[in-house]
Amino acid sequence: LGNYGRMLHDPIFWLTLKNSAAWVVFSVSIQFVLGFLAALLLNAEFKGRAFLRTLNLLPWVIPGVVVGLVWEYLYQPNYGPINDLLRRAGLLSVPVAWLSEPSLAMAAVVGANIWRGIPFFTIMILAGLQAIPDDVYEAATVDGAGATQRFWSITLPMLRPIIVVATATRIIWTFNYADLIFVMTGGGPANATQITSSYTLLTAYTDLDFGYAATLSVVLLVFLLVFTAGYLKFTKGVESVSG
């Protein structure tokens, strides 16, 4: 019980909750939008589609630690490709320490996480798009529905169960996903990228304070259970379109 009282008065814990919210909201929302657009593109008929579908999986199949190391190199201020390209384009005059500036570090790790998570939404939504019968679109076209009307009246409603499950799953994974943060920033600088899951692991295996880490884990579990229940209730879960 003392650990729960300590948690309530722990400023780093409340900071990690705020960071976790930013980490999840920006990562998942942008992943969803870009993944949806990629799925629409890969669902169309064009030459080289099979190759692009395979290439789309690349960020997802690479281990998270490797992704973190690659992006840490890309963000490197002195010889990293991102700074080099920006300087060549005339957008930077001096190198930017993306992972060392508290105001930029979270955006940097979110960018890496977005790149890695896009394929998940692409695959899920693409599977849903291919499951929609063609005769539904044909009937709508015969009735005079345009492309925009077909998208809002057929595509989105029939994809809703997949979107609900995929989004809920990705939110939970992202909230617990600390690999990139461990590798790229270690939660720094000055806890600017510290999220609750990484703070829990550091408390257990760096500070060796297993009691307090267990308390943080229990609170994290309860929070995710409450969120998932509320999210599924708000979105009406995976009920059928007709329901």
* pLDDT value at residue 239: 56
Confidence check: pLDDT of 49 > 80: yes
pLDDT band with cut points at 50, 70 and 90 for residue 222: very high
- First CA to last CA distance, the chain: 45
Residue 132 DSSP symbol: S
* Residue-wise pLDDT tens digits, 139-155: 888 888 888 888 888 88
pLDDT band with cut points at 50, 70 and 90 for residue 25: very high
How far apart (Å, rounded) are the C-alpha atoms in residues 111 and 122? 17
Confidence check: pLDDT of 241 > 80: no
* pLDDT value at residue 104: 93
- What is the average per-residue pLDDT within 40-45? 90
**Percentage of the chain modeled with pLDDT above 70:** 97
Two structure tokens written together for 199 = 């703070």
* Residue-wise pLDDT tens digits, 65-88: 999 999 999 999 988 999 999 998
* Residue-wise pLDDT tens digits, 112-133: 999 999 999 999 999 999 988 8
Two structure tokens written together for 211 = 């009691």
DSSP string, 139-204: HHHHTT--HHHHIIIIIHHHHHHHHHHHHHHHHHHHHH--HHHHHHTTT-STTTT--HHHHHHHHH
How far apart (Å, rounded) are the C-alpha atoms in residues 95 and 25? 28
Confidence check: pLDDT of 243 > 50: no
* pLDDT value at residue 242: 43
* pLDDT value at residue 238: 57
178, 201 Cβ separation under 8 angstroms: yes
